[in-house]
Structure 1
Amino acid sequence: MLLLLGLLINLLIFTDAQSVGVCYGGVVDGSSSQQDVVNLYKNNSITRMRIYQPNQAILQALKGTNIELIIGVPNDALQSLNNQNAANTWVRDNIQNYPDVQFRYVAVGNEVDPNNGNSQHVNFVLPAMQNVQNAINVAGLGNQIKVSTATYSGLLGVSYPPSNGAFRDNVRGFIEPIVKFLSENNSPMLVNIYPYFASIGNPNSNLPYALFTAPGTILRDNGRQYSNLFDTIIDAHYAAQASLGGENVEIVVSESGWPSEGGDAATIENAGTYYKNLIRHVTATTGTPAKPGRSIETYLYSMFDERNKTGAESEKHFGIFSVDERPKYQLSFNVPKSMNVSISERYGILAAFSLM
């Protein structure tokens, strides 16, 4: 009996951990080989990765590992995959040829939006998703790999309060059939969530609210209480999806991060606080106020600083590692579920065994 009790305690403490993924972008100017990158994931117990386009060296390095992968179709490849034969070839070359890689999702396009510089790709996203799904189904992988697209908060016209979340009027025609596709295929919506950008773009911003350090409730919305901006943004997306028939479409946070320099509130202290608190929050079982009781699958952006990336200076400093592979923050990427079990629940389990 004591042996069984000891095994139970070890099981509670050390197994069934919730994993936080990390995005690996392509604008990295370090000297690490792709095998070195995968080894860095393994050495830090990071068991989920997102890449933005097929990378044969990364796929080779991932063979036989326990790292689950989001593989992306870049926006400039979407039009070509509107041809079913091309989609079949893409799935064969980048998925079927790597049976020892644990593919989790295919992200067909990233932040395509009728209102931004990616607007030329709008008409290609859904047909590409459908063709990739067909190819995956024919390959017998439909129960293993989900097809989605990565969107972002720029598609929302209303985000406050979150229960009123709604897509922009000129976005509905684009996003509604995608939501329907995801619902029909039991696939999640991938959403890039950045409290940093929402915070610095708001003259009335509350930095602790964005960093998960607010001392209590900041927003009340129809009986729901919000103490952090991250949950607020996610629930606004959930409300927007629900209005289009996507009530049951789960959201996976495909990017979230905070820069360590290059802009307002972009400091190493704020970034470290955000990443630590984000990991703690999404690996808990509390969920969001609108979707309680579930962990939130989340991918940190990004693995490395990207000094050659174009755009604002802050865009270059989202890495959780420097380009020489030194960690910028002390982060723990796998949190045992037992850490989220209440004291009464844990001791209730042990008490039950004591009566045997």
Structure 2
Amino acid sequence: MMASCTLFPSILAFLLCSSAVVVVESGIGVNWGTLSVHRLSPETVVNLLKGNKISKVKLFDADPHSLKALMGSGIEVMVGITNDMLAALSSSSAASDLWVSQNVSRYMVKGGVNIKYVAVGNEPFLTSYSGQYQSYVLPAMMNLQQSLAKANLAGMVKLVVPCNADAYESSLPSQGAFRPELTQIMTQLVTLLNSNGSPFIVNIYPFLSLYGSSDFPQDYAFFEGTTHSVMDGPNVYSNAFDGNFDTLVAALGKLGFGQMPIVIGEVGWPTDGALSANLSAAKAFNQGLVNHVLSNKGTPLRPGVPPMDVYLFSLFDEGAKSVLPGNFERHWGIFSFDGQAKYSLNLGNGLLKNAKDVQYLPSRWCVANPSRDLSGVTDHFKIACSYADCTTLNYGGSCNGIGAKGNISYAFNSYYQVRKQNPQSCEFDGLGMVTFLDPSVGDCRFLVGVADGSTNSPGFSLGSRKTVSALVILWGVYIFLM
């Protein structure tokens, strides 16, 4: 059933409703986030994408360095507009025109960037935002659509809104419905998306369901069969992904859009920072997901029709992300920060290949000086971990069992590498010392930073995708030091 376009002003309705639905080839893409304390150069990242035949990439902003590197690559790109920009874009067509000019038109030239989508906000209807961005989404989309039309790009670039799966709910997939307070705006949004030939984008995270509930059956999060299948009338669900997906299908159907194309904007499994976050689980989930999608099996409510596209989260670990959701937030990458595949994974084009020509800092580390009294180290430890990433030291992390001195050395070294091995960054009032012997222990890797990032300045840039805390709360890590 096609919804009418009567929700919008006549001129804009004509503009939007005259666009035909475009069917594109589905595939596996990746999210390229940049909230990292160690960043590879964008050129190295693009070469990594090309080397692995990854043809679709989703950005969380319109970073000019990333877009410049993507020019001429042929990779299909989704650029993002952060939530904090929605208010300005919703209230000013001039602001919208300027944004499109600077972040879309500039790059869509011969030999330029293949920008396919513009993501208007990122999960703007998230429950925890308490409606903060809700009223800005549609006006911003209308202004942006007009701006794209002025630039003669309306037929080439589609506006989308990545939504969190908490936008809908039900006890069974077939009973899926959008949250009551979102029904009106979702009706308007999907009408607009449908009229413009855009898909509905949703982020689905079975890991978070498992992490957040001790009652969630672990095998139901994966794709290898379960003893906890969900029976929904004649339909049987053996994995959480299909159940979540079909809940959205049912919710869209209740609004009259049961056939709307769906893109998975984010899905993945972290490798560290929680008990259920590890390499074997991440490999099992991501490979199972890829195999499931590429089989074209579909779901019970959409047999033979898999998601239009799936963007794995994430390309790299991001050591500067907020850890408010959990320490695992910094460890979603299928590649480590330096472009090395964490585990064997086949995205349909062969096993992952490592980044080439990565330039590392010299092979040296900063560790706790064994000849010094470390009783006064707590403040230094806190400061080091407020700049660097120490989440692997926490409960469930890969470095959780290396002991008190190990914790101190790990923190010192993490800070030292973030500071590009500046000699002063290993002083810590004489408590630190530089070593040329790798202090890594078992699965706990003491990293060496990369030298080919986009900036040589110490520290890291604060991104706008999610607030990065000025100080990291170190859950119990330094109790060993008290």
TM-score by length of 2: 0.63
1:42 counterpart residue number:
50
Correspondence for 2:138 among 126, 129, 140: 126
Gaps of 5+ in 2: 1-23, 351-482
CA shift in 2, pair 1:95/1:260, >3 Å: same
Amino acid at match of 2:34: G
Aligned-pair CA distance for 1:114: 6.2
The aligned runs of 1:16-95 (5 Å cut-off) are 19-82=27-90, 83-95=92-104
Correspondence for 2:122 among 110, 117, 125: 110
Query: What is the alpha-carbon distance in structure 1 between the residues aligned to residue 130 and residue 238 of structure 2?
Result: 33
Gaps of 5+ in 1: 1-15, 337-356
Aligned-pair CA distance for 1:335: 5.2
1:6 counterpart residue number:
none
1:157 counterpart residue number:
169
Aligned-pair CA distance for 1:209: 1.7
- Say whether residues 1:191 and 2:202 are aligned partners: yes
DSSP 3-state at the match of 2:291: helix
Correspondence for 1:320 among 299, 316, 334: 334
1:290-344 per-position Cα deviation (integer Å, ceiling 9, x unaligned): 11222321000011111221121011110111111111121222359xxxxxxxx
Contact 1:199/1:206 (8 A) holds in 2: yes
Contact 2:126/2:166 (8 A) holds in 1: no
DSSP 3-state at the match of 1:144: coil
DSSP 3-state at the match of 1:78: helix
Contact 1:304/1:323 (8 A) holds in 2: yes
Query: What is the alpha-carbon distance in structure 1 between the residues aligned to residue 26 and residue 167 of structure 2?
Result: 29
Amino acid at match of 1:332: N
Correspondence for 1:242 among 233, 253, 258: 253
Query: What is the alpha-carbon distance in structure 2 between the residues aligned to residue 84 and residue 35 of structure 1?
Result: 34
The aligned runs of 1:201-350 (5 Å cut-off) are 201-214=212-225, 218-296=229-307, 297-311=309-323, 312-334=326-348
Amino acid at match of 1:89: L
Name whichever of 214-223 and 148-157 sits farther off. Answer: 214-223
Contact 1:180/1:245 (8 A) holds in 2: no
Query: What is the alpha-carbon distance in structure 2 between the residues aligned to residue 58 and residue 237 of structure 1?
Result: 32
DSSP 3-state at the match of 2:133: helix
Aligned-pair CA distance for 1:141: 2.3
DSSP 3-state at the match of 2:299: coil
Aligned-pair CA distance for 1:254: 0.3
Amino acid at match of 1:280: N
Query: What is the alpha-carbon distance in structure 2 between the residues aligned to residue 185 and residue 319 of structure 1?
Result: 33
Query: What is the alpha-carbon distance in structure 2 between the residues aligned to residue 237 and residue 170 of structure 1?
Result: 16
TM-score by length of 1: 0.85
Amino acid at match of 1:95: V
Query: What is the alpha-carbon distance in structure 1 between the residues aligned to residue 95 and residue 259 of structure 2?
Result: 31
Runs of 4+ in 1 over 6 A off after TM superposition: none
Aligned-pair CA distance for 1:64: 0.9
DSSP 3-state at the match of 1:116: helix
DSSP 3-state at the match of 1:299: strand
Larger fraction in helix:
1
Aligned-pair CA distance for 1:204: 2.7
Q: Which has the higher contact order (CA 8 A, sep 6+)?
A: 1
Aligned-pair CA distance for 1:266: 1.1
1:32-66 per-position Cα deviation (integer Å, ceiling 9, x unaligned): 11111111111111111000111111111111112
1:239-298 per-position Cα deviation (integer Å, ceiling 9, x unaligned): 112212322321100000111121241111101111111111112211121112223210
Query: What is the alpha-carbon distance in structure 2 between the residues aligned to residue 28 and residue 202 of structure 1?
Result: 29
Aligned-pair CA distance for 1:222: 2.8
CA shift in 2, pair 1:33/1:216, >3 Å: same
1:97 counterpart residue number:
106
Query: What is the alpha-carbon distance in structure 2 between the residues aligned to residue 236 and residue 34 of structure 1?
Result: 37
Query: What is the alpha-carbon distance in structure 2 between the residues aligned to residue 137 and residue 93 of structure 1?
Result: 15
Contact 2:169/2:247 (8 A) holds in 1: no
Aligned-pair CA distance for 1:182: 1.1
CA shift in 2, pair 1:282/1:335, >3 Å: farther
Query: What is the alpha-carbon distance in structure 2 between the residues aligned to residue 185 and residue 109 of structure 1?
Result: 18
CA shift in 2, pair 1:18/1:113, >3 Å: closer
Query: What is the alpha-carbon distance in structure 2 between the residues aligned to residue 323 and residue 52 of structure 1?
Result: 17
CA shift in 2, pair 1:204/1:216, >3 Å: closer
Amino acid at match of 1:149: V
Aligned-pair CA distance for 1:216: 7.7
Equivalent residue pairs, number = 320
